[in-house]
Amino acid sequence: MGRIKKKGTSGAAKNYITRTRAVKKLQISLPDFRRLCIFKGIYPREPRNKKKVSKGSTAATTFYYTKDIQYLLHEPLLAKFREHKSVAKKIGRALGRGEVGDAARLEKNLIPKVKLDHIIKERYPSFVDALRDLDDALSMLFLFANLPSSEHIPTKTIALCQRLTHEFEHFVIVSHSLRKSFLSIKGIYYQATIQGQDIMWLVPYRFVQRTAGDIDFRIMGTFVEFYTTLLGFVNFRLYTSIGLVYPPKFNVKSDEEGGELGAFQLEGKAITDGEPATNGDVADAIASAEAQAEVDKIIANAANESIADTQDSTALVRTEEDEENNEAIDKFETTAQDADVLPQPQASSTEAASLFAPFTFYLSRETPRAPLEFLLKAFGSKRVGWDSILGDGAFTTDESDTTITHQIVDRPTLPNGSLPDPPPVPETVHGGAVPPKAQWPRSTVPGRTYVQPQWVWDCINQGKLLRPDLYAPGAELPPHLSPWVKPKKGEYDPNLPLEQQEPEGEAEAFEEEEGDGDGDSVSEDEEAPAVQELEDAVIDRDSSVEAGEGMDVASAEDDSDEEEMDEDIANEWEGFESEGESDISDGEAERRQHQRELEAEAAGVTLESKPKTAKEQKTESRKKLEKKRKQEEEDRERQKMMLSRRKRKLLKRIEYGTEKRDKEAENLRRKKRRIENAKEAANAI
C-alpha cells in the first residue's frame, strides 16, 4: 500500500499562495507588499479550481504564484523597506517627545532612497522590450502632467512628469517618428513608430481636472514612480542614439512663462562648434547620419559577398539614386470590387518631415496650442506662431505677419458690425516697435489660408494635404474617423455615398416607409373631425331618448328599403371582387397577360400597354427582390440541412453576428438619409 498524501501539499494547492500568507512570509506590511509587486511586475492570479487551492473554502481570496513570492525573498528592496520602517519608528518616537529638530534630522539623513535601476534591467533585458511596454507609461505620465497639485499629488511629481514627457515629445519631433493621431472623447491619441515598434499613448484634454475622493493615489503614485524611472532610461537611450545630449538644457524662466516645449534647448554632439543646435540642424544631422549608416551597411554586405568592386559600386550607386528619385509611396489597390481592403504601407520619416515643412502657421487664441504645436513641428513645420498670451516660445506673435501662410481658427466668421470696435492702439510702444494689429475675425489677410484644427489631424492621418476649403471657418466638417479602424465589407462607411454601400432596393423601401408614415399622420388628422361628428351624433341620440321620444317601430316600408340597400351593397361587393385582381397570383396575372397578347397577335390588333408609373415600377422591383431573397433563404436552409449539428451551431453564431452588424449599418444609413433629406428640404426653402 502506497503512502497516503496529505491534503494541500501538492498540485494546485502548492502552486498558489494567498496574499496573507505571502505578506507573512516576506515579513513586510501590506502597502509595502503592494508596492513591491508593482515594481517587480507580479500580479494576482486566478486558479482554475478555487476549492482545491483554498482547501474547500469558497471565500473571496487573492492568490499569487508561489514561485513569484519565493522570487521576492531575495529582492534588495526588502532591506530598504525594513530600514525605512525602523527610521520611521525613530522619527515617531522623537515627535512623541517633542524633539522636532531631531525628527527633521533623521528624516533628512537616515531615510533610505529607493532606486529602481536594477529592476528596470531585470524586467527589460533589451531596449525593444522597454519600447513595447511604453504605452501605459506614457499615458500615465501625461495624465499626471496635466493634474493639479494636491495633498495626494506633490508638485515635484507633476514637474518631473512634465519634464520627461516634453523630452519624449522633443525626440518624436526631431526624429519625425509620429505617424497618426485621433481626437476622441477621452483625449488625443498619438501613435509613433520608434525602431520598428508602434507606441500609442493617450493625452487628456486640458480642462480643469477634479480628482475624486474614491481614487487610491498611493497605488497610482507607485506606478508613476516606476514609470518615471523607465521613461528616464528610454529618453537617455533615444537621445544618445541620434547624437543628442541628454538631458537637454532647460530654461526655467521660459517654462514659467508657459514655454513648455520651447523651454528645452537641444544640443548635438558633432554639429557645430559648441553652439546649441536648432531642431532643423539636428534633423539634417540625423538624416545625414542615417544615410551614411545605410551606405556603410551596403558596403559591408558587398564585401561579405565578395562581389567585384567596380561593378557592384556602380550598381549600388544606381540603386541609391533610384530610391532617392522614387519618393512616392506605393499603394496597393484591389482588382475585384468586393475584395477586402489591403493594408497600405506607412509613410517614412522623410515624407512626414516634408508634410508641413514649407508652411508658416499661426494659432489663434481659441485653438489648443500644445497639441497643434507638437503635431505641426513633428511633421516638418519649423515656424509656428501664436498670441503672446498663450505662452512663450512662438516663432511670431504678430498676427499681421506677411510670412504666415496658414492660420488655424476655431470660431466662425461674424457679419460686419456684430463685433464692437477694437480699442485704439498706439502707433508705437516701448522701444519704438509697431504693435501687432488684430485681424481675425474682424478681417482676413489676402493670400492666407484659414482652416479649422481638424484639418491638421486629417492631413496627418491621410498622409497628404487636403482641400482647405472643406475646413474653412464655419464650414460643416467631414467626419473625423479613427485611423486604426479600417472599413470592412458590409459595414457603414461615412466617407462613401449611400448609393455605393446600400443594398439594392433599400432606398425605395425607405422612401415608401417615409411616405406611409406621412400618410398615416394625414389620415389621423382627417379622421379626427369624423370621429368628433360621430360622437356628437351619439350624444344627440342619447339626449333625444332621455327626453321621452322613445324608440321608433320599423314599418313595412322601412323593411323594404333596408332589403334594397342590402342588395345594392351585395352587388357592389360582387363587382369589386370581379374587377379586382388582388386574389390573383403573379403567375396567373402573367399567364392572362400572355393570353391577351396571343389573341391580339392572332387578330392582327396591336395591344396597347399602359406605361407603368414610378410607384408601380418600385413595387414591381421590390417584389422581385423579395422573391429573390426568399429563394436564396430557401436554398440556404436546404444547405444547412446537410451540415452536422456542430457546424450548424457555429453557422448560427456567425449569422447572428452578421445580422447584428447589418442591422447597425442599416440604422446608420437610414439616419444619414434622413439628415440628407432634411438638408435638401432646407436648401429648397
| CATH numbers and ranges of domains, the chain | 12-109 (no CATH), 117-284 (no CATH), 364-416+435-485 (3.40.50.10190), 493-516+615-685 (no CATH)
Q: State which amino acid sits at residue 256.
A: E
Residue 283 CB neighbours (<10 A): 21
What's 283's DSSP letter? H
Q: Are 174 and 183 in contact (CB under 8 A)?
A: no
Helices then strands, each counted (H, E), the chain: 24, 11
pLDDT number for residue 488: 76
For residue 496, give the nearest of 678, 674, 681, 668 by alpha carbon: 668
Output the pLDDT for position 294: 55
344 Cβ neighbours under 8 A, 6+ residues apart = 331, 332
SS3 sequence of 611-633: CCCHHHHHHHHHHHHHHHHHHHH
- Cβ-Cβ contacts under 8 Å for 289 (sequence gap 6 or more): 242, 243
Q: How far apart are CA 239 and CA 170, in angstroms?
A: 10
Q: Which residues contact 300 (CB under 8 A, 6 or more apart)?
A: none
Single pTM value for the model: 0.71
Nearest in space to 457 (alpha carbons), one of 382, 385, 376: 376
* Bridge partner residues of 408 (DSSP): 363, 451
Question: In the beta sheet, which residues pair with residue 199?
Answer: 192
Q: What pLDDT does residue 44 have?
A: 92
> Could you tell me if 146 and 206 are in contact, meaning their C-beta atoms sit under 8 angstroms apart?
yes
Q: Which residue has the cell 396571343?
A: 598
* Contact present, 384 and 364 (Cβ < 8 Å): no
Q: CA angle 223-226-231, nearest 5°?
A: 115
Closest CA to 267 of 252, 251, 246: 246
* Amino acid of residue 459: C
Sheet holding 178-183, edge to edge: 178-183, 188-194, 197-203
In SS3 terms, 653-677 reads as HHHHHHHHHHHHHHHHHHHHHHHHH
* 369 touches 397 (CB < 8 A): no
Classify residue 168 by burial, with Cβ atoms within 10 Å: 0-12, 13-18, 19+: buried
What length is written for the chain?
Answer: 685
What pLDDT score was predicted for residue 317? 40
Packed helices 155-175 and 217-241: angle between N→C axes, nearest 10 degrees: 30
Residue 180's pLDDT is 94
pLDDT of res. 298: 54
Cβ neighbours of 483 (radius 10 Å): 18
3-state secondary structure of 133: coil
Radius of gyration of the chain (CA): 39
Helices (H), 305-368: 309-325, 349-353
Predicted local confidence at residue 308, as pLDDT: 42
Low-confidence ranges of the chain (pLDDT < 70): 1-2, 8, 269-349, 415-439, 504-587, 606-618
Taking the C-alpha atoms of residue 534 and residue 33, their distance in angstroms, rounded to an integer, is 83
Nearest to 457 by CA among 466, 445, 448, 447: 466
Q: Strand 449-451 to strand 406-408: parallel, antiparallel, or no bridges (unpaired)?
A: parallel
Beta strand pairing call for 249-250 and 197-203: unpaired
How far from the centroid of its chain's Cα atoms is residue 400's Cα? 36
Q: What is the Cα–Cα distance from 19 to 66, expressed in whole angstroms? A: 10
